[in-house]
Amino acid sequence: MEKLKLLIFVGTEGIYHDHAGNGQFLTSMVNGTAEIAAEFSQDYDVLADGLSGYDTVLFYTDVGELTSAQEAGLLNYIRKGGGFFGLHTAAASFRESEGYHGMLNGFFDGHSPYMDFTVNVSDTDHPITEGLADFDATDELYYLKHNPDTSHHLMYAYDHTKDETHVIAFHHTYGEGRVFYFALGHDMAVLENPSFQTVICQGALWAGNRL
C-alpha cells in the first residue's frame, strides 16, 4: 500500500506557540515512519483548491481567518472523503467560521494552567488508541464547547484546578470524511512524548482510512 499523503497545515498567526517550529518537527517525525509521507505548508491558498492530492490534512493553526473559498474548499474536501485531524489550537482557530467549527465539533473555551496531568484512554479498542495506555503529559488542558452526543470520545483528563474532567480526543464523520481532534500540543515537552507521537501517527492514518 502507498504511504498516506499527509498535509501538515500550520497557520501564521501563532503568538503563544511556535507553530512553525513545532509543525516542522511533527513533519519530520511522521516522515520517519514507514506509513506516512508528510508535507508542511503555511499557504492558505492550498485550502481552496489544493487538497485533492492528500489523504489527510492536519491543522495545527491558531486564530487566523478563512476566506469563503478556503473554508468551502476544506469542507468540500472532507465531505468527499478527505481526512481531517485537528490538533490543539485548531479548536481556537478561525473563530468567525461557523462551518469550520461545526465540522470540528470543538471550540476553544479556555484552558488550565500549563501543568502535569494524566491522559486516560477511555476506548482502548479503537485503532487510534491501539496499544496505548494511560500516560502523563505536560501541557495545557483544553476546555471546549463541544457536543458529546455527536462524537465518540477516546481520551479524557482530570483537571485538579477545577475538579473537572475534560475530553482530550474524539472523532466523528463529516459527510464521507473522518474527523479526529486531539487537544494536546502546546510545545516540545508534549511533542516529544512517545504516547503523543503514537496518537499523531495513528490518528493521521485513521483519518485517512488506513486503520
How does 153-183 read in b/e, with b if 16+ C-beta sit within 10 Å?
ebbbbebeeeeeebbbbbbbebeebbbbbbb
What is the span of the domain harbouring residue 142?
A: 4-207
Mean pLDDT of successive 10-residue stretches along the chain, which has 211 residues: 94 74 95 97 92 96 89 97 96 91 95 96 97 97 96 98 97 98 95 98 98 94
Task: Give the pLDDT of residue 103.
Answer: 97
Rounded to 5 degrees, φ, ψ at 43 are -95, 105
Q: What is the CATH number of the domain that holds 39?
A: 3.40.50.880
Position 18 scores a pLDDT of 83
For the beta carbon of residue 119, count every other beta carbon within 10 angstroms. 27
pTM: 0.96
Domains of the chain: total: 1
Closest CA to 37 of 22, 27, 25: 27
